[in-house]
Amino acid sequence: MIFPWDVRRKSCPHCQSEAHVIPVLYGSLSRRAEKEVKAGKVHYGGSVVSLDRDQWYCTLHHQAFGGVSEALDEQVAAANAD
């Protein structure tokens, strides 16, 4: 079974590239996580953790994407492909 939150790094819907894509963190951050946010290695999505939160963020287009619902859609589509 594949869980939607296991979906790996994805391409930005705008640039179709993973080159500028970083993970999104939510909730309260550890010190280490704070450092990574400041270093631009991860994007801070806010303190509210919702179920359909986006998992990825394109630093070029400043857009988060790859929410759970989107991932679920893809899993369903893949499961129905053959």
Question: Using CA atoms, how far apart are residues 82 and 68, in angstroms rounded to an integer?
Answer: 23
Question: Using CA atoms, how far apart are residues 44 and 65, in angstroms rounded to an integer?
Answer: 13
Candidate residues 2, 3, 14, 35; the one interacting with Zn ion per rule CB under 5 A? 14
Q: Which of these ranges, 2-10, 13-21, 48-56, 74-82, lies near Zn ion under the rule CB under 5 A?
A: 13-21
What are the CA-CA distances from residue 69 to residues 20, 52, 65, 66, 79 (Å)? 22, 6, 11, 8, 15
Q: Which of these ranges, 26-34, 44-52, 55-63, 67-75, lies near Zn ion under the rule CB under 5 A?
A: 55-63
- Measured in whole angstroms, the distance separating CA 20 from the mean position of its chain's CA atoms is 12
Q: Which of these ranges, 6-14, 33-41, 43-51, 72-80, lies near Zn ion under the rule CB under 5 A?
A: 6-14
Candidate residues 7, 10, 11, 15; the one interacting with Zn ion per rule CB under 5 A? 15
Q: Site residues (CB under 5 A) for Zn ion?
A: 12, 14-15, 58, 60-61
